[in-house]
Amino acid sequence: MILFEQAFALVAEAAQILPAEHISFTGCKGRILAEDVFSDIDMPPFDKSAMDGFACRREDLPGPFLILETIPAGQSPTLAVGPGQCSRIMTGSQLPDGANCVIKVEETRLTEDGKIHFTGEKTNDNICFKAEDVRKGQLVIKSGELLTAAHLAVLASVGCTTVAVSRAVKVGILSTGDELVEPQHVPGPAQIRNSNAYQMIAQAESCGCVTKYYGIAPDEESGLLAMIQMAMQENDLILLSGGVSMGDYDLVPPMLEKAGFNIRFNRIAVMPGSPTLFAVKDACYCFGLPGNPVSSYVQFELLAKPLIYRLMGHELKTIVARLPMGAPFHRKKANRLSFVPVTFNHKGEILPLEYHGSAHIHAYADASGMLRVPIDNYELKTGELADVRFL
């Protein structure tokens, strides 16, 4: 058994970034950028007005000002502003030569002779200056970024309509165990419905993966080996649930070795999910996750999810906060790092949920985070600060 930190390091070290592909920027949300993006223009490309008003010379305030022209957005000014002159200007319009401030429409009055007079006490420049946001040639998005809607706006603004992104990870998913039946069937005696596969499919697809479900593998060597070999040929990552512990029918470790995988670890000091396995063969990776649904759920979040993003060249930024306990937490054993489903009260305090153990996946349906309970820590008192990982 190794510490979680050691397991995490072994997974991180094994990751090799997948090759890139070029796609339209309109479809790149949720993908990982595979090359730096630079701006092809200054932004703003010219000095422009930050509001509707009148462009004038500050030294001529409060006026009066003779109106030279109206400058709509999208049209260039035709006249320079001189002493005692101004141009009516719209938000986003190019500032005319000679002007060094824009006065607000609501802080002006029109005199009887058709001139503008400033009625305010003072004014800001109200100008967005050329290149104050971005300079031509400036790096705007770094390689390795997880692209969001805001990034799409940036890509559009710099004319980057074809984007290099890392190829989506192909994930093959298998469940093991003769006791399993698919969800549409009513379980017979000694049977349970297969929930892990669909949980893992959803978790993988939420990371942008392309998934393929291979079904329930039997507790029999040749059938399990054949399914592993097929999944290995067609995917970058295999997720197996069940069959990884120490029982007579836990055949995943020897079948992975028979398929050529090198098992890096098969037991970690974590609760839930101690019998978690990680193996590598060339550029194919495999997690053997425990059969209990909470264990597979938690270990996917802790280990498989960071690996998926590393394969795409991204360092996953998980949100961990140190918050006060809103209720006490106790446990009987403290020889492993524990993760416990929690929610939060209106004060932002941590509230442990009712949780019966690694088979109680229903607890995570209401969870907002996972409380991290360190090794050798038996209790957390109300008001005590603790680390919680947001889901």
CATH number, domain containing residue 148 = 3.90.105.10
Residue ranges making up the domain that contains 30 = 20-42+143-166
- The mean pLDDT value for 252-263 works out to 96
Output the domain CATH number for residue 256: 3.40.980.10
Higher pLDDT, 268 or 357: 268
Can you give the CATH number for the domain in which 80 is found?
A: 2.170.190.11
Residue 271 lies in a domain: yes
Asked if the structure places residue 375 within a domain, the reply is yes
Among 311, 345, 366, which residue terminates a domain?
311
**Is residue 162 located within the same domain as residue 36?**
yes
Residue 28 shares a structural domain with residue 155: yes
- The amino acid that residue 87 corresponds to is S
Q: Residue 85 falls within a domain, yes or no?
A: yes
Res. 246: pLDDT tops 70:
no
**pLDDT tens, residue by residue, 11-54:** 999 999 999 999 999 999 999 999 999 999 999 999 999 999 99
Higher pLDDT, 304 or 363: 304
| Together in a domain, 261 and 386 | no
Report yes or no on 371 lying in a domain.
Answer: yes
166, 181, 213 — which closes off a domain? 166
Indicate if 348 and 226 belong to the same structural domain: no
For residues 172 and 252, state if they share a domain: yes
Inside any domain, residue 220: yes
Asked if residue 284 and residue 181 are part of one domain, the reply reads yes
**Same-domain status, 98 and 119:** yes
Contact 95, 53 (CB under 8 A): no
Domain count, the chain: 4
Does residue 276 have a pLDDT over 60?
yes
Give the pLDDT confidence score for residue 359 in this predicted structure.
83
Q: Is the pLDDT of residue 247 over 90?
A: no
1 within 8 A of 274, measured Cβ to Cβ: yes
Whether residue 236 contacts residue 170, with contact meaning beta carbons closer than 8 Å, is answered with: yes
CB atoms within 10 A of CB 58: 12
Kindly report the number of other CB atoms within 10 A of residue 354's CB atom. 9
| Judgement on whether residues 193 and 299 belong to the same structural domain of the protein | yes
pLDDT for the residue 249: 58
Euclidean distance between CA atoms 110 and 326, whole angstroms: 62
Is residue 245 in a domain? yes
pLDDT band at 70 (very low <50, low <70, confident <90, very high): very high
Whether residue 291 is found in the same domain as residue 198: yes
Output the pLDDT for position 159.
94
CA distances in angstroms from 35 to 19, 164, 206, listed in the order given:
11, 6, 23
Whether 327 is covered by a domain: the verdict is yes
- Structure confidence at residue 357 as a pLDDT band (50, 70, 90): confident
pLDDT digits (tens, 9 = 90+) for 159-198: 999 999 999 999 999 999 889 999 999 999 989 999 999 9
Whether pLDDT at 248 is above 60: no
Q: What is the per-residue pLDDT across 300-343, written as a single tens digit (0 to 9) for each? A: 999 999 999 999 999 999 999 999 999 999 999 999 999 999 99
**Are 362 and 330 part of one and the same domain?**
yes
Considering the domain architecture, whether residues 288 and 302 belong to the same structural domain is answered as yes
Query: 98 is written with which tokens?
Result: 């000679």
Q: Which two tokens stand for residue 345?
A: 């009260």
Asked if residue 136 is part of any domain, the answer here is: no
**Closest by alpha carbon to 341, among 383, 382, 301?**
301
Which of 268, 288, 311 corresponds to the end of one domain?
311
CATH code of the domain containing 349: 2.40.340.10
Q: Are residues 153 and 204 in the same domain?
A: no
Question: Mean pLDDT across the chain, nearest whole number?
Answer: 94
Percent of the chain scored above 90 by pLDDT? 90
Judge whether residue 214 has pLDDT over 70. Answer: yes
